[in-house]
Amino acid sequence: MYICICNALREKDLRATARCHAGDAETLYNRLGCRPQCRQCLEDADQIVAEERSAVPA
Ligand code: FES
C-alpha cells in the first residue's frame, strides 16, 4: 500500500526505514530519496513511524 502518492512511497518501505533510522517521517522520506510535496500524508506517516518504533523491542 502506498503511504505517499506524490512520491509513490510504500508503507512497507517507510516502516523498514523507521526501524533502522531516527527522525520523523519527513526525515525518513529524505533518506528514501524523496521530499514531501502536498504534505497530506505526513500525519499518517508520522503515526506509522511511531507505531513501528513502539513495536520494536528496545
Ligand atoms: S501524498 Fe505524500 S507528499 Fe503528497
Ligand 1 pocket, 25 CB below 6 A? no
Ligand 1 pocket, 4 CB below 6 A? yes
Q: Which CATH architecture has domain 2-55?
A: Orthogonal Bundle (1.10)
pLDDT level of residue 58 (50, 70, 90 thresholds): low
For the residues 32-56, what does the mean pLDDT come to?
95
DSSP 3-state of 46: helix
The pLDDT, as a whole number, for residue 30 is: 97
Residue spans per domain, the chain: 2-55
Residues 16-50 as b/e (b if ≥16 CB within 10 A, e otherwise) read ebbeeeeeebeebbeebeeebeeeebbeebeebbe
The pLDDT, as a whole number, for residue 55 is: 83
Q: Which atom of ligand 1 is nearest to the CA of 7?
A: 2
Average pLDDT over all residues of the chain: 95
pLDDT digits (tens, 9 = 90+) for 10-38: 999 999 999 999 999 999 999 999 999 99
Reply yes or no on whether the pLDDT at 57 is more than 80.
Answer: no
DSSP 3-state of 8: coil
Cell numbers representing residue 26 in the block: 519527513
CB 34 within 8 A of CB 17: no
